[in-house]
Amino acid sequence: MEAAKLAAVFALLLSSVNSAAQVQGKIVDVIPKSFSSETNQESEPSLTINPLHPLQMAISAFTPGISYCSAKLAPIFFTEDGGMTWNLKCWLPSATWTADATLRFSPSGQLYAGILRQPDFWLLVLRGSVPTNSSLQSILVRKPPDSKHIIDQPYLETAQGSTGGIYVGENDLRTNNPDGAPTASMDDSYDAGNTTPAFQFGKVDKRSSWFDLPPIRPAIHKDGTVYAAYIAIHGYDDTLKQLIGDVVVARGHRDSTTHVLSFAELKDAADLIVGNRVVRDLRFPYDPQDVPCCLGQQRYQASLSIAVDPANSKKVYLAWADLTQNTYTLHVRSSEDSGLTWSPADIWTKASATNPALAVDDREVVGFLYQQLTTENGIQKWETALERSGATKSLILAKAPALVPVRAFHPYLGDYLELHAMGNDFYGVFSANNTPDPDYFPTMFPTFSRNYDKNNHVLQGVDGAGVPVSIDPFFFQIEDGGAKSSP
Amino acid sequence: MQVGCLKSFFDYGGLNDMRRTFPIGEILALVLVFFLVCNPRSLFSQENSATALSNESPTFVFSGTVVRKGGTSNPNEIRVKVTSVTRSPRAIGKLDGQEVSILTSKPSQYTKNGRYTFSAVGDAAGDTLTLREVPRHAVLRPVGLSAVASERIMDSDLVVQGTVLNIVPQPPAANTADNLPVRLPSEHQSHEKILQLQVTKVLSGSTQKTVIPVRVETSQDVAYASGDTGQADQVKIGESKVFALRWDAVASVWTATAPSDVQPINLVNSIREVLASAPKKEPSPEN
């Protein structure tokens, strides 16, 4: 055990002084050594860092092929050494994998999760602590009427300031729900740490939209300001088979006496309805028969992220994808007046890209993580890249053939990934091809706990036999915002 | 129903695998486990309770030698060197020869250097595996079936062997409430098909018909991913499979909505083992 710790420290030192790219930090494949033989597609990762003990972090991802836990538990990955080594723990009450999951620590170190439970698609909000031998316990259960009208993509955020509370953005597809369409909704609780917390449910989209796309993203500032971003659909182009809609940002606070969360603070200047339409009448992919497919092997779905400056709650950043000249394209814009007006031009534009994630560090450096389909010598590749404001070069964290391995299910890489800032560092997680080849990781070579042959760049099982390439979650930490790599 | 459960209990060797004399207290405990296991519905009806989790199909069955008793942080942990494996998840790879930690509620029943057979589920994993011992009971998951598949089969209304005569795709669910030209786009879009199924053998439950329509789920979304053994998204006309069906009273149709509800014919004996330990079925809801 001591030898293992020494090895981990040595690896940390090596990765921290990676001289090739002059970037300090680390990338780590989170699959533990004892799972060296696994070939599951662990896509759609979520990452959380314990603010009380920042060396403690947890990651969720899809795990259909693992079948390791009991039939009623799904695993997550967790670390207690700052991300150098990760363990798997059977913790989420779902039948061996979840249909969606996000994880967040609260300021007091409680671990929360928002999941769609398998196999019945119930939305659960869970709470527990790390480490513990008991699974996370439900503090909110929402049962859909059937498998076609579920409450989709519960995306959980915890307030990190003294105001406390948790916020779960969710797309309520229950057609018979009391409030009817549109579907962008939020469950929130001001006392989520209590034994029996109170939850409030409310529609975020107050317009007569037809519906909203799956991601409903909250961003919480420590001063109590709550932002919510969503994509509201109000039209359809039957010729091009495209949805027509707006990217909207709502803003509000929780009343200090009644604890009621209201988004009434930000109204659109044109129609005076709650929620500012940042960009209007955009085009989004749609398939009458199925989910729209595909960039490489990755379905389009919808892409959305919002982040608020920890030093100034008026500064907000927004990323989304739409069909720009028929190409699925990511855009990032900013507001300096609490979402009232937005930069007319993009800060960043990335064609053929998806899975945006934004974060702002303590020096107000903005980080933008995304995955972009590129073509190199006729071969399609997925690049996972991190942009930082003030830097002229992006950090290519991973770059691998887009058609290897073959997709086991949708989504191939996930419908989202995550980026967080703590102090001057960016922390994130993405899912990617796990070939242990330095060419696939241009910024720095990851630390692998799972077995591999470093000479031949192939994975090895617990018995040393070759293991096929698969999709793994990769944790990364770019120290000092990666600023030292800036030209 | 409980005869089959009892038979499996002894066939599996819940008693004779132990290399020591049984104290009467442990025998009584095993009898209690037997009665709990043979009435699994009563346990699984509770939400997330510790009781519900106690009735678990093992994902691991193996023999091994105890090399250490008591872990650094947990006195209920024993360290075992695996010598032969009956069952372990494919993701683990080769388990023989590995040392694993086992969390047990009764460490006193094991002696250092003693050789035992263990039933367990995964609890954690790092450089090595940490498993949690579960009762050696009759709902031991037969070879070839995942834990999820075993429980789906046990909980189904009708289990038949049958041949697919025809497959008819169903249109995606429409948002009829609002008369929109598009459906509500879900990440977890269902993809249903209706099979016309020629029933060749009824394994559990009853049906009066020889050809029944069956609604199956064939979506490629993760929510419907097949895990390790499901086949619902792979059925073809002319193929014979085993179908674990549930009755949809609203649509009046048999359904196989999880991939693991459709299993290959070569697992029929394993499925019979699961059904032997399942609770007695109510009369078929179709009748």
CATH classification of the domain holding B265 = 2.40.50.120
CA distance B102 to chain A (A): 13
Q: What are the structure tokens assigned to A188, written together?
A: 């929130």
pLDDT at position B233 is: 61
Q: Evaluate whether residue B182 is within a structural domain.
A: no
Residues B45 and B120 in one domain: yes
Q: Are strands A211-212 and A298-299 parallel, antiparallel or unpaired?
A: unpaired
Region A202-213 average pLDDT: 92
Q: What are the structure tokens assigned to B3, written together?
A: 């005869």
Q: Residues A107-127: pLDDT tens digits?
A: 999 999 999 998 889 999 999
Closest CA to A113 of A156, A64, A70: A156
Say whether A183 and B184 touch across the interface (CB within 8 A): yes
Region B137-158 average pLDDT: 72
pLDDT tier, B219 (very low <50, low <70, confident <90, very high otherwise): confident
Residues B12 and B65 in one domain: yes
Region A174-191 average pLDDT: 78
Q: Is the pLDDT of residue A39 over 80?
A: yes
Residues B249 and B210 in one domain: yes
Between B232 and A24, where is the model more confident? A24
Say whether A32 and B126 touch across the interface (CB within 8 A): yes
pLDDT tier, A290 (very low <50, low <70, confident <90, very high otherwise): confident
pLDDT tier, B9 (very low <50, low <70, confident <90, very high otherwise): very low
Residues B90 and B160 in one domain: no
Nearest to A87 among B53, B126, B228 (CB): B126
Q: Residues A227-259: pLDDT tens digits?
A: 999 999 999 999 999 999 999 999 999 998 999
Mutate to test the interface with B, among A76, A148, A185 (most CBs of B within 10 A): A148
Residues B98 and B206 in one domain: no
pLDDT at position A13 is: 43
Nearest to B258 among A88, A119, A449 (CB): A119
Region B188-204 average pLDDT: 90
Residues B19 and B68 in one domain: yes
Contact, A158 vs A165, CB < 8 A?
yes
| Structural domain boundaries, residue B205 | 147-173+188-276
pLDDT at position B208 is: 87
The strand pairing partners of B111, in sequence order, are none
Nearest to B93 among A36, A171, A301 (CB): A36
Range of lowest pLDDT (A62-66, A210-214, A324-328): A62-66
- Chain A hits for B150, CB-CB cut-off 8 Å, are 71
Q: How many domains does chain B have?
A: 2
Q: Evaluate whether residue B202 is within a structural domain.
A: yes
Residues B126 and B227 in one domain: no
Residue B69: give its domain's CATH number.
2.40.50.500
**Axis crossing angle, helix B2-12 with helix B268-276, rounded to the nearest 10:** 110
Closest CA to A203 of A181, A175, A174: A181
Q: Which residues of A173-209 are buried (b: 16+ CB within 10 A; e: fewer)?
A: bbbebeeebbbbbbbbbbebbeeebebebebbbbbeb
pLDDT at position A477 is: 97
Q: Evaluate whether residue B178 is within a structural domain.
A: no
pLDDT at position A66 is: 83
Range of lowest pLDDT (A19-23, A73-77, A199-203, B231-235): A19-23
DSSP B276: H
Q: How far apart are CA B111 and CA A197, in angstroms?
A: 46
CA distance A213 to chain B (A): 7
Q: What is the mean pLDDT of chain A?
A: 91
pLDDT at position B173 is: 60
Q: Are strands B262-264 and B240-248 parallel, antiparallel or unpaired?
A: antiparallel
Q: What are the φ/ψ torsions at residue B253 (nearest 5 degrees)?
A: -150, 150
- Chain B hits for A32, CB-CB cut-off 8 Å, are 125-127
Residues B70 and B154 in one domain: no
Q: How far apart are CA B232 and CA A114, in angstroms?
A: 28
> What domains can you pick out in chain A, each with its CATH number?
2-485 (2.130.10.10)
Range of lowest pLDDT (A35-44, A429-438, B52-61): B52-61
Q: Is the pLDDT of residue B116 over 90?
A: yes
Mutate to test the interface with A, among B141, B188, B255 (most CBs of A within 10 A): B188
Residues B163 and B243 in one domain: yes
Share of chain B above pLDDT 70, in %: 69
Between B29 and A331, where is the model more confident? A331
Q: How far apart are CA A105 and CA B193, in angstroms?
A: 42
Say whether B185 and A211 touch across the interface (CB within 8 A): yes
Q: Is the pLDDT of residue B109 over 50?
A: yes
Region B261-279 average pLDDT: 86
Q: Evaluate whether residue B181 is within a structural domain.
A: no
Q: Evaluate whether residue B285 is within a structural domain.
A: no
Mutate to test the interface with B, among A60, A66, A120, A407 (most CBs of B within 10 A): A66
CA distance B187 to chain A (A): 7
DSSP B142: P
Q: Residues A376-410: pLDDT tens digits?
A: 999 999 999 999 999 888 999 999 999 999 998 99
pLDDT at position B34 is: 38
Region A344-361 average pLDDT: 97
Q: Is the pLDDT of residue B19 over 50?
A: no
pLDDT at position A462 is: 94
Share of chain A above pLDDT 90, in %: 80
Residues B118 and B154 in one domain: no
The strand pairing partners of B204, in sequence order, are B159
